[in-house]
Amino acid sequence: MADPVTGALVGAAFGEGFTILHEAVRNVVGQAIMFKSILRDLESTLDRIAPQVQKIKELNLALHRPERETEILTEQMKKGAKLVRKCSKIQCWNYCFKSHYASKLSELNDAIETFCRVDLILQIAGTGLETLNKLNQNTSIALETSAKVDQNTNIAVETSAKVDQNTSIALETSAKVDQNTNISVETSAKVDQNTTIAVETSAKVDQNTTIALETSAKVDQNTNIAVETSAKVDQNTSIALETSAKVDQNTGIALETSGKVDRVLERLDNSDVRMRFRSRTLSVPKPRDDIVGLDLPLKELKQLLSNKKEPLLLLTALGGCGKTTLVKMLFWDKDIKDIYGEKIFFVNVSQAPNLTGMVQKLFKHNGEECLEFQSDEEAIDQLEQLLDEIRQPILLILDDVWPGSESLIEKFMFNIPDYKIVVTSRTAFPRFPYRYKLNPLNRVDAMSLFCYSASLQDQDESSDIPEEYIEKFVSSCGGLPIALKVIGGSLRGQLADVWLSKLTKWSEGHSIFDSDADVLDCLQKSLEFSADKTLKEYFMDLGSFPEDQRISATALIDMWTELHEPSEKDVHAITNLLELHNRNLASLEMTRKDETQIDYYYNEDFITQHDVLRDLAIHLSNQEPVLQRKRLIVDIRGNNPPKWWTEQKQPLINARLLSISTDELFSSSWCNIQVPEVEALVLNFQTRNYALPEFVEKMVKLKVIVVTNYGFFPAELSNFQLLRSLPNLTRIRLEKVSIPSLCNTLVLLRSLKKLSLFMCNIGQAFGNSTIKVLDSLPNLMEINIDYCNDLVELPGWLCEVLPLKKLRISNCHKLPLLPERIGNLTNLEVLRLRSCTELSKLPESIKSLHKLSILDISDCLSICKLPKHIGELHSLTEFHMKECLRLRNQLPPSIMELQQLKLVVCDEERAKLWEPFKEFLSNLKVKVAKKDINLNWLPK
């Protein structure tokens, strides 16, 4: 990833910012005892480069270097000075902050050294081009001089002498540029000196140009002398042109060096984009364009927000009325952006708020290194200091605040100028009188939303749905958006007789909603007549995951396939997933637009669900007594499990699906229960250390386990060895956990078919095993590894998993190579290596994967060529290679042998490489994919 400080330091001059930083370091180096050593190093670095900085600054001013470069650099240096002053305020007792700020200071020091060592190469290249331009100007002036030669012999001789002088200077310039270029490539230690010489040379060329211009003003028309002078000028011009050629050569070397730097920076910039993928935990999806009825409320909300006397504005409405949608519109509104810029913070509070986690997300949103706070009080203190230092208008949106959290709101109220808070809640808290109530939609807007949800806007005037039917349903929804969307979705594509049938089942009296219970009752009735029994079961399973969290689509597919309708390619689960989306019972967010349905690739997609609909799912699941429920959803606060769990006699649970959610205060102290019928186990937690419950060992019917850490930091997962005793466990999905030893556990899971690891630390877990994997994992057919940043090599035993059909590895940026033995996986059908930016090549042994039908190397920035014998992949039908930036040369001739290849997905530059092969591959379609990067998809 591109270091943010290093990236900011690339510029033309240090200027004022350098002075501010230098003085700041000098002032605090003796005060900040905790950082004394690092500040000494930083001071030494700045002292060492100070003389050259001053010289560069003066020469750049003389040469009129671009002012914008100085401004950017000055701003970044000021930020560095602010960091230094911040360190001086850290007290010795507050040791937990030492490593954080020490790391920041080290990055600053390294960034400055990197700038002097690497980035100035780009300046030298620019200086070389300027020098070449000046020489060309001198040559033109000399030629003009020969046409306008003076009649005065002395002047002509003087002219010739000056031209000779110019040519000598040009040769001297060439030698210096040559020397500068060689030095810039061979040794970075002398870049400062060389850059100064290059700039001084440019200044001399400017001076010489001025002399030449003065000379040209004095020329006369003496023909005899003109001939003599012309001969000399011709000779001098030849020398100048020869000099120009040398400068061209030297500039070429400098540009080649610059090109290499550009490629490195290109990879770093892409890594930075991916880090923003990972770090933008507060990203707010942009509202759709089809939202109706909220333009006026948005305008009124903005007017109230402009009141400078009121620091907090409370937005209230029933659940499902559109509060969250409205504040998301506020977040993206242009007028609001003009006032607050990038300092608009959005945090979802929810029913069980985690204050420390919320503050950590705010730090991350502001681009700060996230800290581990020892208490809520410490978190709030640090947040206040952060917001106070921003010194520009700030808007904080606290969404979905529940009763009992009023004191939490007050913790975020700081006496900071131009700091505003907007709170959304279903409750009108009396202590916050400055509020705005969002009303249900009026009739016109309600009709519009309902018709859109029911897809009636595409029907023509001859539609067979009578208008009175539409009016009846819309009237019964009382203008509540969530009801209009769900009921409209349930009627999508239905004929008039179906509408009539459902209308007769729909009881009247829902036109007014006074409470959340009324809303649930309305939605429950609509679900009962709109969904069949199977789809209703799928819907109720969504309550197994925490509120306001994004749910992995693959986690749901794994769970549903094993619980409801087993199928080899998960087709039934995927069909119902799409049906829930179509009926507005959940929202499927697709992050990739260039995929096909062949691979059923949903690893980076997720589901979101409205809180009211989640409440409905849990409400429906809780209709039966606890011990008799088919679906048991348990939410543990702190170390306080429900009373039935702590009874002296171990309760016997009959559920097939067990979901247990714990908060950041849970200590993994489990009480025992009997769960012999559980087939799917969902564990949601937020702590840094988490132990699988001991009773897992006796879940003999367990088929799928989904373990998800919703905390801010990766968690250590223990007791993983308990899974070895489970004879029917076929699917494992782990998210954001570290596993000390995964291999020895895996090799005893003889029923395991699919393993998914998402954002996990698996460097140690993937150690080599001496056990024969083929005997121990006879059924493992699919492995997914996504965003595992410490994966530096694939374990050797993986190449022995001969049943493996699908291997997907994405966004593992430290993986440089695949093992040569990967050719042993002769049953492999899908190989995805998306966004593995350091992967430099594909092994030649890949030619042995004769069953491979899909190969994906999209966004693998370092791959520069394809295997020579790639044409031996005779079953290959799809090849994805979008944004393989270094893959620029001709494709290997063996490509012509890929006669089964039907689809290539790539970018425009790579598409040109396929042009020569189209006449040999008659079935081939080359599709140019759009550059659509979604920054909002990662779980919050």
Instruction: Provide the CA 928 distance to its chain's centre, in angstroms.
Output: 23
In the prediction, which pLDDT does 346 show? 94
**Same domain membership, residue 557 and residue 521:** no
- Measured from the Cβ of residue 234, the count of other Cβ atoms closer than 10 Å reads 13
- For 749, the 3-state DSSP assignment is coil
Q: What's the CATH number where 601 sits?
A: 1.10.10
Query: CA-based angle 421:425:426, to the nearest 5?
Result: 160
**Same domain membership, residue 321 and residue 353:** yes
**Same domain membership, residue 561 and residue 516:** no
DSSP per-residue codes, 296-339 = HHHHHHHHHHT-TT-SEEEEE--TTSSHHHHHHHHHH-HHHHHH
Side chain identity at 688, as an amino acid letter? R
Q: Is residue 637 part of a domain?
A: no
CA-CA distance, 361 to 356, in Å (whole number)? Answer: 9
List pLDDT tens digits, range 341-357. Answer: 989 999 999 888 889 98
**Same domain membership, residue 526 and residue 567:** no
Total domains, the chain: 5
Domain-ending residue, one of 562, 581, 612: 612
Q: What's the CATH number where 469 sits?
A: 1.10.8
* Long-range CB contact pairs, 667-674, < 8 A, 24+: 667/639, 669/639, 670/694, 670/695, 671/641, 671/645, 671/646, 673/645, 674/650, 674/698
Contact of 742 with 769, CB cutoff 8 Å: no
Q: Is residue 9 part of a domain?
A: yes
Higher pLDDT, 78 or 685: 685
In 767-857, at which residue ranges do the beta strands (DSSP E only) sit?
Answer: 782-786, 806-810, 830-832, 854-856
- For residue 454, which phi and psi values (nearest 5 degrees)? -90, 5
In the prediction, which pLDDT does 76 show? 63
**Same domain membership, residue 548 and residue 518:** no
Q: Is residue 318 part of a domain?
A: yes
Q: Is residue 784 part of a domain?
A: no
Domain-ending residue, one of 557, 577, 612: 612
**Same domain membership, residue 300 and residue 268:** no
List pLDDT tens digits, range 189-203. Answer: 343 444 444 344 444
Residue length, the chain? 940
**Same domain membership, residue 427 and residue 310:** yes
CA-CA distance, 417 to 675, in Å (whole number)? Answer: 56
Higher pLDDT, 140 or 399: 399
Instruction: Provide the CA 557 distance to its chain's centre, in angstroms.
Output: 24
Q: Residue 709: is its pLDDT beyond 60?
A: yes
List pLDDT tens digits, range 548-568. Answer: 889 999 999 999 999 998 877
List pLDDT tens digits, range 254-273. Answer: 344 334 334 433 443 443 33
- For 589, the 3-state DSSP assignment is strand
Tokens encoding 659: 């979901």
Q: What's the CATH number where 326 sits?
A: 3.40.50.300
Is the CA virtual torsion 378, 380, 381, 387 positive or negative? positive
List pLDDT tens digits, range 687-697. Answer: 999 999 999 99
Q: Is residue 688 part of a domain?
A: no
Q: Residue 178: is its pLDDT beyond 70?
A: no
Q: Is residue 659 part of a domain?
A: no
**Same domain membership, residue 118 and residue 11:** yes
Region for residue 858 given its phi and psi (left: phi exceeds 0; alpha: psi -120 to 50; beta: otherwise): beta
**Same domain membership, residue 155 and residue 249:** yes
**Same domain membership, residue 307 and residue 266:** no
What's the domain range around 460? 440-530
Higher pLDDT, 743 or 381: 381
- For residue 751, which phi and psi values (nearest 5 degrees)? -95, -5
**Same domain membership, residue 71 and residue 10:** yes
Q: What's the CATH number where 844 sits?
A: 3.80.10.10
Q: Is residue 747 part of a domain?
A: no
**Same domain membership, residue 205 and residue 168:** yes
What lies within 8 Å, CB to CB, of 602 at 6+ separation is 553, 554, 557, 574
Burial of 211 (0-12, 13-18, 19+ CB in 10 A): middle
Domain-ending residue, one of 414, 437, 460: 437
Q: Residue 522: is its pLDDT beyond 50?
A: yes
Q: Residue 101: is its pLDDT beyond 70?
A: no
| Helices 481-490 & 443-453 angle (0-180, nearest 10) | 40
Q: Is residue 797 part of a domain?
A: no
Side chain identity at 780, as an amino acid letter? L
Q: Residue 144: is its pLDDT beyond 60?
A: no
Percent of the chain with pLDDT over 90: 43
CA-CA distance, 123 to 70, in Å (whole number)? Answer: 13
In the prediction, which pLDDT does 159 show? 45
